[in-house]
């Protein structure tokens, strides 16, 4: 198969392990990848598995002044005559995105990239779409959560991206239904492919004898529901339950969450420990009796797609309690692979966590079922093989375009 270009907003990014897993799976199957990032990293912690990625990373240029933008445009037009026509479709985008699309077109041609795939239906896909118009390179993208649910999503722009993409992937059946209901024929080529795990990396262990530890992992933002978790912990504390709670992550809500912990006098029960290296997160998951993922639909419409931490915890044997938000019910089947509670209901969450803390046989039953579910439907090798099948189909359907791109790369 020809080389594939992955377009992302930032690389690497601590919270986007699923992208790294995807790239590693492709590489292990022999696929050549080039990574194109719109921005440099801004995190302080990174996944250790990044060291295993062989794909080179290209950071796309940004214009320093208007003259640089127009000079680059005129120069690129000698190589890509389609560029002038493509500007009409890019008229609503920031100049930075258009500039980076030009650079992406040049780099993709230089490196023999035959197809580009972006993650998130926002800036990365904007750049991939314009680059496709400029260079005739087909593009596709994966839509996740905020990029389709947030109140600030430009629905006209998203419809254009869905219609023009060779195909669109999204991470749950819920998302497929949402996009097809909202965008009708423009979403005809949307496919569901679950984010997968390297299951072998997550060794299962029984939760039978674990300490009464409740774990929350994720960015400290509204949609993660950590305020609800803190309120639920207050209920457990007032009932005299023996437990501790650790919340791993960083984000804009940390000051408010810390204030809530202090207000409820939970300082010796609930700790915000900030971000942690991936091995530390996995180690903590192995110790927990409960993985709490109390996701909510945010006041701005933002919501999670299908949190990777759920899959990781379930693979490790950590019993999960979560909410019926977006695609979560596709993995957490109440009473079978985990426990489900209504969102924004701390009493229900507290009751479910009490059940998991106190009932060791139930923990073991749920954990075993959850591991089987992850192995069956969320194995990264299967998910990525399906995605490579879509890439291959596009390459087969566009052989002439691929040949022209190779030619452009030679004469540059």
From CA 88, how far away is CA 163, in angstroms rounded? 16
Helices (H), 80-208: 83-89, 95-110, 123-135, 146-149, 155-164, 173-183
From CA 194, how far away is CA 306, in angstroms rounded? 8
Are 3-196+379-411 and 199-377 equal in CATH topology? yes
Please tell me whether residue 307 adopts helix, strand or coil conformation: coil
Chain length of the chain = 412
Q: How confident is the model at residue 409, as a pLDDT?
A: 35
Query: In which element (H, E) is residue 213 found?
Result: strand 213-217
Q: Which residues of the chain have pLDDT under 50?
A: 400-412
Q: How confident is the model at residue 410, as a pLDDT?
A: 31
From CA 59, how far away is CA 127, in angstroms rounded? 13
Q: Domain 199-377 carries which CATH code?
A: 3.40.50.2000
Domain 3-196+379-411 annotated CATH 3.40.1410.10? no
Q: How confident is the model at residue 411, as a pLDDT?
A: 30
Q: Which two tokens stand for residue 271?
A: 């700790």
Sketch the domain layout of the chain as residue ranges.
Answer: 3-196+379-411, 199-377
Q: How many helices (H) and strands (E) does the chain have?
A: 16, 13
Task: Compute CA distances 203 → 195, 275, 283, 315, 317, whole Å.
Answer: 19, 23, 11, 7, 8
Contacts of 342 (CB under 8 A, 6+ apart): 323, 324, 348
Q: How confident is the model at residue 408, as a pLDDT?
A: 38
Q: How confident is the model at residue 42, as a pLDDT?
A: 85
Radius of gyration of the chain (CA): 23
Q: How confident is the model at residue 405, as a pLDDT?
A: 41
């Amino acid at each position: 198969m020809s080389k594939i270009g992955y377009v992302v907003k930032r690389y690497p990014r601590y919270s986007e392990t699923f992208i790294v897993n995807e790239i590693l799976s492709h590489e292990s199957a022999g696929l050549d990848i080039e990574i194109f990032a719109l921005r440099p990293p801004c995190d302080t912690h990174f996944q250790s598995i990044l060291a295993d990625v062989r794909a080179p990373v290209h950071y796309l240029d940004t214009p320093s002044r208007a003259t640089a933008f127009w000079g680059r445009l005129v120069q690129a037009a000698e190589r890509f005559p389609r560029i002038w026509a493509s500007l009409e479709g890019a008229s609503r985008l920031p100049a930075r995105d258009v500039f980076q699309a030009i650079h992406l077109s040049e780099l993709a041609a230089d490196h023999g990239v035959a197809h580009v795939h972006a993650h998130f239906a926002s800036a990365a896909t904007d750049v991939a779409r314009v680059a496709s118009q400029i260079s005739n390179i087909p593009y596709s993208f994966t839509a996740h959560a905020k990029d389709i649910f947030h109140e600030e999503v430009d629905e006209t722009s998203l419809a254009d991206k869905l219609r023009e993409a060779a195909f669109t992937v999204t991470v749950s059946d819920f998302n497929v239904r949402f996009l097809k209901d909202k965008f009708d024929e423009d979403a005809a080529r949307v496919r569901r492919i679950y984010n997968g795990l390297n299951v072998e990396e997550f060794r299962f262990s029984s939760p039978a004898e674990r300490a009464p530890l409740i774990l929350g992992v994720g960015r400290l933002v509204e949609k993660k529901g950590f305020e609800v978790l803190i309120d639920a912990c207050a209920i457990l504390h007032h009932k005299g339950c023996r437990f501790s709670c650790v919340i791993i992550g960083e984000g804009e809500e940390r000051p408010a969450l810390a204030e809530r912990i202090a207000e409820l006098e939970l300082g010796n029960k609930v700790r915000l420990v900030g971000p942690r290296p991936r091995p530390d997160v996995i180690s903590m998951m192995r110790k927990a009796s409960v993985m709490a993922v109390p996701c909510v639909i945010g006041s701005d419409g933002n919501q999670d797609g299908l949190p990777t931490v759920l899959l990781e915890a379930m693979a490790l044997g950590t019993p999960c309690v979560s909410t019926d938000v977006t695609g979560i019910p596709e993995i957490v089947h109440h009473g079978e692979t985990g426990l489900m509670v209504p969102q924004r209901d701390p009493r229900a969450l507290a009751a479910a966590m009490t059940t998991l803390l106190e009932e060791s046989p139930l923990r073991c039953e749920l954990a075993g079922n959850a591991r089987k579910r992850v192995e069956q439907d969320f194995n990264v090798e299967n998910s990525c093989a399906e995605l490579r099948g879509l890439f291959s189909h596009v390459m087969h359907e566009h052989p002439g375009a691929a040949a022209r791109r190779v030619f452009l790369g030679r004469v540059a």
